Amino acid sequence: MSLTKGKILEVSNVNVMIKKQRQELTIATDVSFAVGSGEALGIVGESGCGKSITALSIMGLLPNNVYVSKGSIRLKETDLVALKRNDYRKMRGKEIAMIFQEPMTSLNPVYSIGFQIVELLREHTQLSKKAAKTKAIDMLKLVGIPRPEEVINEYPHQLSGGMRQRVMIAMGLACDPSLLIADEPTTALDVTIQAQILELLKDIQKRYDMGILLISHDLGVIAEVCDRVLVMYAGQVVEEASVQSLFENPKHPYTRGLIASTPKIGESKKRLHTIEGSVPQLADMPNGCRFAVRCNKVMERCLGESPPLFEKADHTKCRCWLYEHQ
């Protein structure tokens, strides 16, 4: 299968399994999406819905007891699922890079910032040590770090959370990857720094014309950066739409619940809307629609029959029996 024209990443019908004691359980089911050059795709949903495990599948960083059991993941013309570990290491950081939620656990505390960026550049490029150091300083400047010539010699614990996250972005961009994955990149930051990081991601996307896959539970973050949105629930894609379409006309009852649960500036409510219940456990997935027991639009059919992902005339997709004939 060749990659669709204009797409950097194509994920097709992917299942992710976990071996737990003597059981094998499905974490993500039939996940499909694509990211184009210069496009930002957001994946949103509650904790445990399969967002991060999807990202780790793409990066080849799944734990030893977790594996892709079905489907394909293609980056340009490379089938990542079939890739050997050593070949994956060569691509990771060069063709595809990832910014993690907490930079303090991603940066090595015993090495300077400069050492870590230079090591990455020397691993994936032909640059000399001197040229790699010069590029490392340029990357720190690019992401808005003041006094980069000094910061390059400092250690992660000497920087604030916002500065550490900027260092992670600089490392992610250092080798000019085609795809940048950002997994909750602003969660641990205060609101002011969060806005700066999101603005930086938007600027970088325009400047480099790269694909961005942004994972978040925060719809505000998704609305700020992304062109399209994928809503996941209990390991499945339940809706896919452009940002504008999703916020103006959400289709899936779960998406509507998420948007209604988000506080809005200037709106006064005694209580925020909540979605009753919780995401089903892996070992206890319902036979029908996985959202049925929490849904205010539930029908008898929903309890016994799992809906497919219906594609509508406006190019949106929705996994709900309400849209079978609409």
Query: Within 13 Å and on the Cβ side, how many CA atoms surround 165?
Result: 23
Over residues 4-28, the mean pLDDT reads 88
Over residues 5-17, the mean pLDDT reads 90
Burial class (CB in 10 A: 0-12, 13-18, 19+), 309: middle
Lowest mean pLDDT among 69-73, 269-273, 322-326: 269-273
Angle at 202 between CA 40 and CA 103, to 5 degrees: 90
CB 257, CB 273: distance < 8 Å = yes
236-257 pLDDT tens trace: 999 999 999 999 999 999 999 9
Whether the pLDDT of residue 5 is over 60: the answer is no
Using pLDDT thresholds of 50, 70 and 90, give the confidence band for residue 204. Answer: confident
- CA 58 vs. chain centroid, Å, equals 10
Using pLDDT thresholds of 50, 70 and 90, give the confidence band for residue 4. Answer: low
CB 68, CB 83: distance < 8 Å = no
Helix (H) or strand (E) holding 181: strand 179-183
Whether the pLDDT of residue 161 is over 90: the answer is no
Whether the pLDDT of residue 35 is over 90: the answer is yes
- Residue 262's pLDDT is 77
Residue 38: Cβ within 10 Å count: 15
Using pLDDT thresholds of 50, 70 and 90, give the confidence band for residue 206. Answer: confident
**What backbone torsions phi and psi does residue 317 show, to the nearest 5 degrees?**
-125, 140
- Residue 47's pLDDT is 86
pLDDT-above-70 percentage for the chain:
95
Domain boundaries, the chain: 7-95+177-323
Over residues 261-271, the mean pLDDT reads 68
Over residues 149-164, the mean pLDDT reads 93
Whether the pLDDT of residue 219 is over 50: the answer is yes
Mean pLDDT (the chain) is: 90
Whether the pLDDT of residue 81 is over 80: the answer is yes
- Residue 232's pLDDT is 96
Domain at 7-95+177-323, CATH from 1.10.4080.10, 3.40.190.10, 3.50.50.100, 3.40.50.300: 3.40.50.300
| Residue 234 CA: distances (Å) to CA of 27, 257, 282, 285 | 8, 15, 8, 8
CB 90, CB 96: distance < 8 Å = no
Whether the pLDDT of residue 317 is over 60: the answer is yes
- Residue 1's pLDDT is 43
Over residues 120-140, the mean pLDDT reads 94
Over residues 62-76, the mean pLDDT reads 94
Which comes out higher in pLDDT, residue 244 or 77?
A: 244
**What backbone torsions phi and psi does residue 238 show, to the nearest 5 degrees?**
-105, -20
Alpha-carbon distance of 5 to 17, in angstroms, equals: 30
Which comes out higher in pLDDT, residue 187 or 115?
A: 115
Angle between helices 161-173 and 113-124 (to 10 degrees): 10
- Residue 137's pLDDT is 96
Using pLDDT thresholds of 50, 70 and 90, give the confidence band for residue 131. Answer: very high
Which comes out higher in pLDDT, residue 200 or 243?
A: 243
- Residue 2's pLDDT is 43
